[in-house]
Chain A
């Protein structure tokens, strides 16, 4: 995706703008408010702080508004609720004060982080350990109990904390506390060479590592104003759709696990494993790590091996489609999936939810179709959307998308362009680029700045960061025993969110 040039699309306000800088949400051509894509800070060359607002106003390219501030901006969270976590993150990372924000408790940093240390601005060697206080919201009233879960959960999953306020079995309110796996990843990008950045991007969310690698690579290519060669783009498409297929099969299996339907769960893990082994045979890695780099691919893949791979994909997709029918026709599954964890459409829209979760709640959104990148303008596909918003809807969306992914892999593998897979990049001078990719969990957006081949800033908007705040709305009014199922149906990455 090409980013709008600074002169035409980007509004840059002068430094003398009022300290209470504020941005109003742009409108799309049809008058609907634009969707917030990302909000983040960066440092200027003289240490001044920039705040970047990226919106999707239903135009071919995203709209970026940059505000320069001396340290105080006006919150847009009341108008754009999706901005709430972003502004808290900005506050934590850059120490920018956000006037009028309803909740400025620390987000990324926990009790152990000292007040007044901002990692994107200050030196961060030997930050002392602190013991600050953190207050959860308290729901008061007769018969209300609090249930605290995590950060260490039962099972092989990532850490996060959930604070339920319940009446009997029914959840009145769920408060999330994430960022246990925050590894300071955005800071790690600072100062490293552009090519080394791929390895950091791949480690943001392990099961979506290829989407991260491609989004990062495309952002660099965007900064250099070049496109990856056609063969590289086509192979990237195969990798991205493979990742989506594996992720969706795994999710549907996980939903079966959470309702005790062992046959479905075991069959899904079997199909997933057959895909991972096919991938290992095709390119020597089970998760497509270490393949995409800025400029294309690190090495070419053998066309014959890709064809074998696509045959394995087609077998797996057929098996999964049979399995999905069996799962959807099972009355006990229908009973548990239907009407559980409904995410209303207006909440999904207010919180700018993305990916399969958004499409299950009636929001017609897919980066592959709306902002085609790489090889996606050469393939045809339908984007499934449904309005029920429950666990069943999210499962159905994933099942349909899995079939589409398998078809796209076969079509692309059967008509692979030839020639090289890597172009060299001109990295001298200022770099400024961004890129969005539809990862299995939804829109993944990379924004980066650099100088002479080294990065100075890289922001990662992960779909999980965007979708987590919506989950409590789907959980409210359900029984607490359905929480694991609803959580799984969102399938959010903790590490991707926490970064």
Chain B
């Protein structure tokens, strides 16, 4: 019997996706990417109308109209792809995650059709750098503050043989007392608010908190509900944000490493 089990595991090829192919990979995320050259005021107006969570907004700055996109609010529904005449497409690469909510926001000038936000440096973390970032060990405690379990499914996927988070020295631990980082998903519900605070207090300092998913970043589709307190940072201090609904495993890896890089650079 045991030989069959060993044979089964030996027959499997190595499926690990190299880290270079993961970082910034936006496949399957359905996050919007704006083609600035195609953007017109009329299209921008339509994007604002069609977006269910007000991720797209039009602002005025020095009497010039600007289109503002906040990934923290985006639930990746793709309604904007349809109504944009090709000005918005599904992102192939995605780096918009990190240590502050400002990092999730992009702005375009509608008159000149150019992006005003500085583009993020591609977080090409070399293999050696990962080890120096983590010292070969980061313990993560995942905390569901009221999520729909979409984010949980993708976070669990991080431990499968394709993403194999353990190769970076990242482990998921059972107790907040063993954790360096809290990965918090979901809008914080009224019924979970107390438990979220208790869990935060149980994590020894220094600690990192990362809000995951549209709900964790902004409340997402549940913002404003009577049973929801709000985004994670409405209840506990947050050090990093990973948008997406749900964020793909590649986005999670990118985000976790980016939050660490920023933290160490500070």
Interface residues of chain A, those whose CB is within 8 Å of chain B, are 109-110, 112-113, 119, 124-125, 127, 151-152, 154-159, 179-185, 187-188, 196, 199-200, 203-207, 209, 250, 263, 266-267, 269-270, 272-273, 276-277, 280, 284-287, 289-290, 298-299, 322-323, 326, 329-331, 493-496
Whether B226 pairs with A270 at a CB distance below 8 angstroms is no
Cα A269 to Cα B189 in complex, Å, equals 30
A269 near B199: Cβ-Cβ < 8 Å: no
Determine how close the nearest CB of chain B comes to the CB of A258; give it in whole angstroms.
13
A183 touches B222 (CB 8 A): yes
Q: Once the chains bind, are A493 and B225 in contact (CB under 8 Å)?
A: no
Contact B142 A270 (CB under 8 A): no
Say how far A110's CB is from chain B's closest CB, in angstroms.
Answer: 5
Contacting residue for B5 out of A179, A207, A250, A263, CB 8 A: A263
Instruction: Tell whether B116 is near chain A: CB-to-CB under 8 Å.
Output: no
Say how far A270's CB is from chain B's closest CB, in angstroms: 5
B163, closest chain A residue (CB): A273
Given contacts A184-B228, A272-B160, A273-B157, contact A289 B30 (CB under 8 A): yes
A151 touches B195 (CB 8 A): yes
In-complex Cβ contact of B149 among A152, A187, A207, A272 (8 A): A207
The answer, among A154, A156, A203, A284, for a CB contact under 8 Å with B221, is A203
User: Does A110 lie within 8 Å of B191, measured CB to CB?
Assistant: yes
Contact of A284 among B28, B189, B193 (CB under 8 A): B28
A207 and B150: CB pair below 8 A?
A: yes
- Per-residue 0/1 for B157-194: is the Cβ within 8 Å of any A Cβ (1 yes, 0 no)? 10111100000000010111000000000110111111
- CB contacts (< 8 Å) of A113 on chain B: these are 190
Q: Which of B57-65, B71-79, B104-112, B122-130 contacts A (4 or more CB under 8 A)?
A: B71-79
User: B77 near A199 (CB under 8 angstroms)?
Assistant: yes
> Nearest chain-B residue to A155 (Cβ)?
B174
Cross-chain contact of A206 among B4, B76, B149, B225 (Cβ < 8 A): B149
Please report the C-alpha to C-alpha distance between residue A322 and residue B4 in the assembled complex, in whole angstroms: 11
On chain A, the residues within 8 Å of B245 by CB distance are 289
Nearest Cβ on chain B to A495's Cβ, whole angstroms: 5
A158 cross-chain contacts in B, Cβ below 8 A: 144, 147, 149, 152
- Neighbouring B residues of A125 by C-beta, 8 Å: 226
Partner of B152, one of A127, A206, A329, A330: A206
Q: Give bound CA distance, A179 to B220, whole Å.
A: 19
Cβ 8 A contact of B28, one of A267, A285, A329: A285
Q: Which of A187, A196, A205, A289 contacts B52 (CB 8 A)?
A: A196
Partner of B153, one of A179, A207, A277, A299: A207
**Which chain A residue shows the least CB distance to B149?**
A206
Given pairs A183-B222, A204-B148, A270-B15, 8 additional interface contacts (CB within 8 A):
A110-B191, A158-B149, A182-B146, A182-B189, A188-B221, A199-B52, A206-B148, A287-B150
B132 contacts which chain A residues (CB < 8 A)? none
Alpha-carbon distance between A158 and B185 when the two chains are bound, in angstroms:
10
> Which residue of A is nearest B154, CB measured?
A286
Check if B221 sits within 8 Å of A206, measured CB to CB: no
12 A-B Cβ contacts within 8 A?
A152-B199, A155-B172, A181-B146, A203-B220, A203-B222, A206-B150, A269-B156, A273-B161, A286-B28, A289-B150, A290-B30, A495-B148
B151 within 8 A of A: yes
Chain A residues with CB under 8 Å of B195's CB are 151-152, 159, 180
Whether A187 contacts B225 by the Cβ 8 Å rule is yes
A180 and B8 contacting across the interface, CB-CB below 8 Å: no
Given A289-B76, A326-B8, A156 contacting B156 (CB threshold 8 A): yes
Decide yes or no: A267 and B225 within 8 Å by CB, A112-B190, A159-B192, A180-B195 being known contacts: no
Is the CB–CB distance between B152 and A183 below 8 Å?
Answer: no
Docked Cα-Cα span, A300 to B212, in Å, equals: 31
Q: In the complex, what residues of A have CB within 8 A of residue B150's CB?
A: 203, 206-207, 209, 287, 289
CB distance from B243 to the nearest CB of A (A): 15
Closest chain B residue, CB of each to CB of A196: B52
Q: Which A residues touch B87, using CB under 8 A?
A: none
- Report chain A residues within 8 Å CB of B162: 270, 273, 277
Chain B residues contacting A200 (CB-CB under 8 Å) are: 221
Using CB atoms, name the residue of chain A closest to B227.
A184
Q: Is B67 part of the binding interface, using a Cβ–Cβ cutoff of 8 Å? A: no
CB closest chain-B residue, reference A188: B225
How far is B188's CA from A181's CA once the two chains are assembled, in angstroms? 8
Give chain B nearest CB distance to A145 CB in angstroms.
Answer: 21
B143 to chain A, nearest CB (A): 7
Q: Give bound CA distance, A272 to B15, whole Å.
A: 13
Query: Lowest 10 CB-CB distances: which A-B pairs, in order?
Result: A206-B150, A154-B174, A184-B227, A124-B226, A280-B28, A269-B160, A184-B225, A206-B148, A206-B149, A181-B146
Asked if B248 is an interface residue, CB under 8 A from chain A, the answer is yes
